[in-house]
Amino acid sequence: MKNRIVRGIAGTFILISLLLAIYVHQNWLWFTAFVGANLLQSSLTKWCLMDTILEKLGVKS
Protein backbone atom coordinates (compact mmCIF):
# COMPACT_ATOMS: atom_id res chain seq x y z
CA MET A 1 0.00 0.00 0.00
CA LYS A 2 2.70 2.49 1.00
CA ASN A 3 4.71 1.78 -2.17
CA ARG A 4 1.69 2.64 -4.30
CA ILE A 5 1.24 5.91 -2.43
CA VAL A 6 4.93 6.83 -2.85
CA ARG A 7 4.78 6.09 -6.58
CA GLY A 8 1.55 8.06 -6.92
CA ILE A 9 3.02 11.08 -5.15
CA ALA A 10 6.22 10.91 -7.22
CA GLY A 11 4.26 10.67 -10.46
CA THR A 12 2.02 13.56 -9.44
CA PHE A 13 5.03 15.72 -8.53
CA ILE A 14 6.64 14.99 -11.89
CA LEU A 15 3.51 15.80 -13.89
CA ILE A 16 2.83 18.99 -11.93
CA SER A 17 6.42 20.18 -12.29
CA LEU A 18 6.32 19.51 -16.04
CA LEU A 19 3.14 21.57 -16.36
CA LEU A 20 4.71 24.35 -14.30
CA ALA A 21 7.79 24.25 -16.55
CA ILE A 22 5.60 24.61 -19.63
CA TYR A 23 3.25 27.30 -18.36
CA VAL A 24 5.21 29.18 -15.67
CA HIS A 25 8.98 28.90 -15.97
CA GLN A 26 11.50 26.44 -17.31
CA ASN A 27 13.37 26.24 -13.99
CA TRP A 28 10.60 23.98 -12.63
CA LEU A 29 12.41 21.19 -14.50
CA TRP A 30 14.91 21.21 -11.63
CA PHE A 31 12.12 19.93 -9.40
CA THR A 32 11.47 17.15 -11.91
CA ALA A 33 15.17 16.27 -11.81
CA PHE A 34 15.11 16.29 -7.99
CA VAL A 35 12.21 13.82 -7.90
CA GLY A 36 13.94 11.58 -10.45
CA ALA A 37 17.21 11.69 -8.49
CA ASN A 38 15.31 10.79 -5.32
CA LEU A 39 13.72 7.80 -7.06
CA LEU A 40 17.12 6.64 -8.30
CA GLN A 41 18.70 7.11 -4.86
CA SER A 42 15.92 5.17 -3.16
CA SER A 43 16.31 2.27 -5.58
CA LEU A 44 20.02 2.05 -4.76
CA THR A 45 19.90 2.59 -0.99
CA LYS A 46 16.44 1.15 -0.21
CA TRP A 47 15.66 4.33 1.78
CA CYS A 48 13.06 6.87 0.71
CA LEU A 49 12.27 10.16 2.46
CA MET A 50 8.61 10.05 1.37
CA ASP A 51 8.32 6.56 2.82
CA THR A 52 9.63 7.87 6.15
CA ILE A 53 7.21 10.82 6.06
CA LEU A 54 4.25 8.54 5.34
CA GLU A 55 5.32 6.22 8.16
CA LYS A 56 5.34 9.15 10.61
CA LEU A 57 1.88 10.12 9.37
CA GLY A 58 0.67 6.66 10.33
CA VAL A 59 0.37 5.02 6.89
CA LYS A 60 0.98 1.31 7.24
CA SER A 61 2.80 -0.92 4.76
For the cut 90, the answer to whether the pLDDT of residue 44 exceeds it is: yes
**Whole-structure pTM value:** 0.85
Contact (CB, 8 A) for 13 and 31: yes
CA 52 vs CA 24, 30, 44: distances in Å: 31, 23, 16
Confidence bin at 61 (pLDDT 50/70/90) = confident
Q: What is the CA radius of gyration of the chain?
A: 13
Residue 52, sorted as left (phi over 0), alpha (psi -120 to 50) or beta, turns out to be: alpha
Q: Report the pLDDT value the prediction gives residue 1, as an integer from 0 to 100.
A: 76
Q: Per-residue pLDDT averaged across 17-30, rounded?
A: 98
CB count within 10 Å of CB 18 equals 14
